[in-house]
Amino acid sequence: MSDAGISRLETHLGRLLRGGVLSSAGCLAAGLALFLTRAAPSIANALLTAGLMILMATPILRVVVSLVEYARMRDWLFVTTTLVVLIVLFVTIGVAVHNVKPG
């Protein structure tokens, strides 16, 4: 359990979260602007969907990055902890896919 490992992980996570939220906000802003002008509804929709997907993917990626880093640190207790969280999130995605409404 090295403090250096943990602070490297924090730096990675900070970068990931910032990148995720910025790219998501960019897509959402562009999508919303296009949506309001009604110029290209399909592009507007695609941008809005992409923005929301990136937003939802960011915390999941954060858990995946943590898993990799804990494995590199050989911190098996927290590899297990992180794996359990990831499994719950996969169940959520499974339920979501099951619930998709056609159209």
Partner 1 sequence: MTLSVVIAVIAAGAVGGCLGSLLGLGGGVFLVPFLNVGLGFEFKVAAAVSLMTVIATSSVVSAGTAGRQLINLRLGMLLEIMSTIGGLTLGVLVEHMSETLLNRLFATVTAAIAVLMLSRLERRNVLEAEADPGPLGGRFYESESGREVVYRVRRLPLALCASLVAGGVSGSLGIGGGILKVPILNAWCGVPMRAAAATSALMIGVTAVSSVPIQYARGYVIPPVAAAAVLGVLLGSSAGFWFGGRARAKWLKLLMAIVLGSVSLLYFVKGLR
Residues within the interface to partner 1 (CB under 8 A): 1, 6-7, 9-11, 13-15, 17-18, 20-21, 24-25, 28-29, 31-32, 35-36, 45, 48-49, 51-52, 55-56, 58-60, 62-63, 66, 77-78, 81-82, 84-85, 88-89, 91-93, 95-101
Contacts of 42 (CB under 8 A, 6+ apart): none
For the bound state, the minimum distance from the C-beta of residue 56 to partner 1, rounded and expressed in Å, comes to 6
For the bound state, the minimum distance from the C-beta of residue 63 to partner 1, rounded and expressed in Å, comes to 6
For the bound state, the minimum distance from the C-beta of residue 47 to partner 1, rounded and expressed in Å, comes to 9
For the bound state, the minimum distance from the C-beta of residue 72 to partner 1, rounded and expressed in Å, comes to 14
**Per-position DSSP letters for the chain, written without gaps between them:** --HHHHHHHHHHHHHHHHHHHHHHHHHHHHHHHHHHHTS-HHHHHHHHHHHHHHHHHHHHHHHHHHHHHHHHTT-HHHHHHHHHHHHHHHHHHHHHHHHPPP-
